[in-house]
């Protein structure tokens, strides 16, 4: 039971940043913006969170700094694609490369320094429940924020007027503009929210998952988060299922190596990314399923009438 519980705890910790980053990208894509810079925003959030925590001694300030860092970095993407109408795909790729480079430069002095871990919050009585207690009621703040995010985003998209406007902008920005909705403003806010979530996911990596700074420590998780949005058909609850599925695959390869299973370590390390490709191929085979919830204006630039 102890080993089983430890594996489940590892899966939760590995899945949380994927769920958070995918939730932020889901909002951005629902508004019609395809931001491929999630990886860059995540790694910037990770280094800024670690730097702020080291400077202040408070991981909570580090979490806030990571969120702010991701949101501010996303404004660069928003300015280029929404104001200057640059190509979203090319800009997102450039943003990822820029984020990896800048984070490496900022974090060079912090490599090898011990970090301050964000400690779990022990909820009285509930945390003492066998198995379930440690899994659900003795977790860190970022895990609970991920739960609030999923519930809040689901309510926002399908129960609020602002969510209806956001989906209208993503489905037909011209029609939304004709009805008086500010398309550019809506997309800016969605991009900033996505950046803030990516920054929070990055903070989780450097403050919870591995409380230290390592260059390029996101290791492709931003790309998995992008794939998760498609896997979930732009539905928040499916993001959770997909996030924990990919998290379980990531952790399984680590435990397989620890148990000495006779499979090449290189194959096990590539397993999460191979699983991502396989899932995307399977989804793309059914075009009708893919198009059910895909925002019609996704990736399309909008220039308001002069």
For 84, phi and psi rounded to 5 degrees? -90, -5
Q: What is the spatial distance between Cα 272 and Cα 208, in angstroms, rounded to a whole number? A: 20
Mapped onto helix, strand or coil, the DSSP state of residue 156 is helix
Number of H-type helices and E-type strands within the chain: 13, 2
pTM of the shown model: 0.92
116: left (phi over 0), alpha (psi -120 to 50) or beta: beta
* β-sheet bridge partners, residue 138: 122
pLDDT at 289: 65
C-alpha–C-alpha distance, residues 28 and 97, integer Å: 20
Among candidates 114, 291, 146, which has minimal Cα distance to 212?
A: 114
The ranges assigned to domains in the chain are: 2-291
Cβ–Cβ < 8 Å for 16, 207: no
Task: Tell me if 46 sits within 8 A of 103, measured CB to CB.
Answer: yes
Measured CA to CA, the distance from residue 47 to residue 49 in angstroms comes to 5
What angle do the packed helices 38-56 and 59-78 form, to 10 degrees?
A: 150
Residue given tokens 């899932």 in the structure block: 279
Could you tell me the two tokens for 35?
């931001």
Residue 217 sits at the vertex; the CA angle it makes with 213 and 222, to the nearest 5 degrees, is 140
Q: Two tokens at 137?
A: 């009621």
State the Cα–Cα distance between residues 138 and 136, nearest whole angstrom: 6
Per-residue pLDDT at 126: 86
**pLDDT on residue 131:** 81
pLDDT of the residue at 270: 77
Gap between the Cα atoms of 135 and 116, Å rounded: 22
Q: Which CATH number fits domain 2-291: 2.60.40, 1.10.287, 1.10.3470, 3.10.620?
A: 1.10.3470
Residue 283 confidence (pLDDT): 72
pLDDT (0 to 100) of residue 290: 67
Q: Which residues of the chain have pLDDT under 50?
A: 306
């Amino acid at each position: 039971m102890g080993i089983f519980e430890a594996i489940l705890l590892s899966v939760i910790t590995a899945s949380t940043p994927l769920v958070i980053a995918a939730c932020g990208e889901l909002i951005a894509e629902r508004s019609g913006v395809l931001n491929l810079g999630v990886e860059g925003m995540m790694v910037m959030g990770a280094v800024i969170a670690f730097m702020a925590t080291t400077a202040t001694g408070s991981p909570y300030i580090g979490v806030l700094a990571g969120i702010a860092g991701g949101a501010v970095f996303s404004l660069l993407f928003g300015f280029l694609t929404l104001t200057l109408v640059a190509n979203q795909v090319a800009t997102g790729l450039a943003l990822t490369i820029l984020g990896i480079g800048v984070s490496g430069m900022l974090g060079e002095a912090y490599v090898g320094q011990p970090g301050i871990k964000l400690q779990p919050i022990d909820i009285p009585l509930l945390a003492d429940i066998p198995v379930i207690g440690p899994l659900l009621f003795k977790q860190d703040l970022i895990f609970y924020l991920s739960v609030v995010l999923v519930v809040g985003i689901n309510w926002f998209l399908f129960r609020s007027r602002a969510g209806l406007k956001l989906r209208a902008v993503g489905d037909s920005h011209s029609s939304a503009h004709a009805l008086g909705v500010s398309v550019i403003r809506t997309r800016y806010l969605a991009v900033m929210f996505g950046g803030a979530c990516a920054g929070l996911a990055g903070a989780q990596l450097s403050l919870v998952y591995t409380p230290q700074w390592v260059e390029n420590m996101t290791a492709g998780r931003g790309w998995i988060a992008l794939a998760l949005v498609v896997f979930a058909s732009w539905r928040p609850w499916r993001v959770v299922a997909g996030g924990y599925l990919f998290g379980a695959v990531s952790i399984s390869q680590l435990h397989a190596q620890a148990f000495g299973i006779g499979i090449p370590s290189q194959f096990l390390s590539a397993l999460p990314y191979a699983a991502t490709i396989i899932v995307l191929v399977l989804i793309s085979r059914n075009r009708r399923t893919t198009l059910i919830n895909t925002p019609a204006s996704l990736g399309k630039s909008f220039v308001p009438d002069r």
